[in-house]
Structure 1
């Protein structure tokens, strides 16, 4: 398999974590499951070849929007698979695909249901014609920047992004609500409408995300944010389907090795694969 990461244009940095290119044209990974871990990110996936299969009812559409997931997911590659994943922050999901939370939270939506079938098809065809990752990234930059112009932001979008920043730092829903001058109930309605999960659920996914990343890279404290080891084990078992001990005994996948590198500063955004 071949992997490549490209950074988005600077104006998109708060909305898009990056463009991840994956190719398995010869089917080298066929038959081996690819597991993605839950994290507070969403994924716009655009396939240039044969889509991966998945455990979702929608299977593997040519273009899809995967909302924020609270459980690990299984995917399977095969000969001819080639795709790019646009990794979206919660602010990016809310701004670029507003009010999509109820449809995408813990689910996958065909992009045609959001853009219309014609617009979705044209986007994939345009990217497929570019083919080379740096040209695909440039066209994705242009498309996303245009979407920022053509998609009118809702009044709460910017406040939701600020609340999420506070929630990440403090893990306190009341502090996040006070920071944007709304009630905790109103903040919960915003999160459910745009992200598909409550603030408390997103905070738990953030904590789990950092625990997994610390275990994968050896950087940071995998116990941070948990009341005790039993709490950590329960959270891992509930959301990842395995305990920290079992994870430590399991060989890391090639995806995790590539996308979760042992590099200072990489931790904040890249843990996604088991």
Structure 2
């Protein structure tokens, strides 16, 4: 990525059901970088500082639309990208109130310091050791089954089939999603399908390969979540779509 350095790592196996990845991003030291944040189905805990701002920690809720922001020059950012069960079993908080928004967290959250943001190995090692101790015991097996299928299929299964496989009613699932995350399960599935299209779009394949009805449906969904047509997202001028830029090519 132009003017950005980026690296990503998976979590320890004990965290795989709640943590998707750890990642680190650093901007160039000369100019600010305008970017668009795309909906990607993740909750993020962001630890960052720049030349202008000291260390601050932010909980970023789910997004349903592209959001314009600017990364200040000289920003160092380390993040923990969380799967949805983390809200209940790791963070122990609902995030419905920060849909398309964020919440500040204490600057000493999870014991991370500014010095650890400069050493990605240390950042990952510390959190791999710390986070398992914060997990609450005995997660609901219905939720584990539901989220396992959601992520394994990239949101391709209909709600009634997910409910059947989880042995949990569709009504109860949607109540849980609205109360904890601020959206319906159907909308979340659509976000996962959108995100799963990144590799094909990066490869220049502008037709639907996920569970979209047809080309028109695919275009509508990409426009809804990215604000542009598939060809414009694939072009990604100036690396403005930050998650798309960071996604490895297929």
Which TM-score applies when normalising by structure 1? 0.76
Map of 2:246 onto structure 1: 259
Deviation at 1:213, TM superposition (A): 3.2
Q: Which one of the candidate residues 92, 97, 106 is aligned to 1:103?
A: 97
- 2:69 is aligned, of 75, 95, 100, to 75
Q: CA deviation at 1:226?
A: 1.3
Counterpart residue number, 1:147: 134
Change (3 A) 1:83 1:250: closer
Is 1:162–2:152 an aligned residue pair?
no
Pairwise CA distance, 1:43 = 0.8
1:242 aligns with 2:228: yes
Report the CA distance between 1:66 and its aligned residue: 0.9
- Mark the CA change 1:256 to 1:204 in structure 2 (over 3 Å): closer, same or farther: closer
After superposition, give the CA deviation of every residue in 1:205-237 in whole Å (9 maximum; x if it has no partner): 111112233212458963421111111111112
CA–CA separation in structure 2 for the residues paired with 1:47 and 1:246: 30
Taking a change above 3 Å as real, the CA distance of residues 143 and 196 of structure 1, as seen in their structure-2 partners, is: farther
Tell me by how many angstroms 1:94 deviates: 3.6
Whether the aligned pair in 1 keeps the contact of 2:38 and 2:243 (CA below 8 Å) is no
Aligned equivalents of 1:110 and 1:202: distance in 2? 24
> Which residue of the other structure, out of 197, 200, 203, is the alignment partner of 2:186?
200
Match of 1:87 in 2: 81
3-state SS of 2:237 partner: coil
Give the 5 Å matches for 1:112-123: 120-123=106-109
From the superposition, tell whether residues 235 and 258 of structure 1 become closer, same or farther in structure 2 (CA, over 3 Å): closer
The equivalent residue for 1:132 is 119
Question: Where do 5+ consecutive residues of structure 1 fail to align?
Answer: 53-59, 112-119, 264-274
Q: Does 1:62 align with 2:56?
A: yes
Stretches of structure 2 lacking an aligned partner (at least 5 in a row): none
Q: What is the CA–CA distance in structure 2 between the aligned matches of 1:227 and 1:25, rounded to whole Å?
A: 42
> When the two structures are aligned, how many residues end up with a matched partner?
242
Which residue of the partner structure matches residue 213 of structure 2? 227
Structural RMSD (CA): 2.9
Instruction: After TM superposition, give the deviation of residue 144 of structure 1 in Å.
Output: 1.5
Structure 2 CA distance for partners of 1:159 and 1:124, relative to 1, 3 Å: closer
